[in-house]
Amino acid sequence: MAVLAKDQEPLVRCDDAARTYGRGSGAVVAVHGATCTVPPGARIAVVGPSGSGKSTLLHLMAGLDRPTAGRVSHPGLTTTGDGLARHIGMVFQGPSLLPPLTAVENVALPLRIDGVPEAEATARARAALDSLHLDSLAEKLPDELSAGQAQRVAVARVLARRPRLVLADEPTGQLDRETGRHVLAVLLAAAAELGAGVVISTHDPRVADELDTRWHMADGRLVRPGEKTEAEPEAEPVGDQRKSLGGPR
Ligand SMILES: Nc1ncnc2c1ncn2[C@@H]1O[C@H](COP(=O)(O)OP(=O)(O)OP(=O)(O)O)[C@@H](O)[C@H]1O
Ligand SMILES: [Mg+2]
């Protein structure tokens, strides 16, 4: 078996990872056994209908939720010794800014928690906000922002931290077409500069088209296009595979 260099190890590996909410007759299987990997530099779209398990899968991959069966590991991120969370940036689908903090304070907070000195954290936060054309909103409180502006601040908060894996849950869901394109372009450019992997859940085919690989979810299963969802999954989430990144292992 080929031995991968540490920097080529997958950022995330899901081995038959499942997540069930609740128990007994009320149990909901949000994700059936999913097996997939996200290699360094991968750019993956997760598409599928509402309720198909996209957010749940992203939360499992972020380590924010634990699988109820199977395993999620981060071989490429657990080698540096300074904590997994440091390397993973999650853009949440819903509101996630802290209400008492201004936009720039929200973006700077994770950096301060990482130990970045205040002046540098603020400068990096402002640069991230600038890159998303949000400089004029830096001193606003979340309540004073539109849903789309707040979502863009959440993207800035992730990019300012320079993660090695970006998991973005519908990051353009609240945005008009032009703004959505801009946010995606900034996100992908930042990821390319950092050499980060990107996984974006989206309902927008235009967003999915910008990425290299497409994973489909249906009823909690990762499936190939055209594959019957009733069938037991053959494990690999294979999309259009126009480029080979992010494919099955
Ligand atoms: N905390 C929870 N408790 C119980 N069921 C949940 C919970 N979170 C999600 N679910 C259920 O799990 C399934 C998958 O939800 P999930 O949010 O992952 O879907 P999604 O594909 O992200 O949908 P959307 O496109 O609407 O964001 C749904 O049936 C949902 O009702
Ligand atoms: Mg969702």
Minimal-distance CA residue to ligand 1 atom 26: 50
Structural domains in the chain, sorted by start: 6-97+163-223 (3.40.50.300)
Q: Give the mean pLDDT of the chain.
A: 87
Closest CA to 210 of 42, 43, 37: 43
Residue 30 sits at the vertex; the CA angle it makes with 39 and 58, to the nearest 5 degrees, is 30
Identify which of 21, 215, 217 to mutate to test ligand 1's pocket (most ligand atoms within 8 A of the CB).
21
DSSP codes of every residue in 217-228? EETTEEE-TT--
For residue 201, what are the β-bridge partners? 46, 169
Long-range contact set of residues 146-152: C-beta below 8 Å, sequence gap at least 24? 146/174, 147/95, 147/174, 148/174, 148/175, 148/176, 148/179, 150/95, 150/97, 151/91, 151/175, 152/179, 152/183
| Pocket, ligand 1, Cβ cutoff 6 A | 21-22, 28, 30, 48, 50-56, 93
* Interval 125-142: pLDDT, tens: 999 999 999 999 999 999
Closest CA to 31 of 215, 171, 203, 218: 218
Cα(243)–Cα(187) distance, rounded to whole angstroms?
Answer: 19
Using 50, 70 and 90 to split pLDDT, how confident is the model at 5? low
**Residue 99 or residue 2, greater confidence:** 99
Helices (H) and strands (E) in the chain, counts: 6, 9
**pTM for this prediction:** 0.88
In 195-240, alpha helices (H): 205-210
Query: What's the CA-to-centroid distance between 11 and ligand 2, angstroms?
Result: 21
Rg of the chain's alpha carbons, rounded to an integer? 18
* Interval 29-58: pLDDT, tens: 999 999 999 999 999 999 999 999 999 999
Query: What's the CA-to-centroid distance between 57 and ligand 1, angstroms?
Result: 10
Distance of CA 227 to the CA centre of its chain: 25
Query: What's the CA-to-centroid distance between 81 and ligand 1, angstroms?
Result: 33
Closest CA to 77 of 64, 62, 93: 62
Q: Which ligand is nearest to the CA of 203?
A: 1
* Residue 29, number of CB atoms within 10 A of its CB: 18
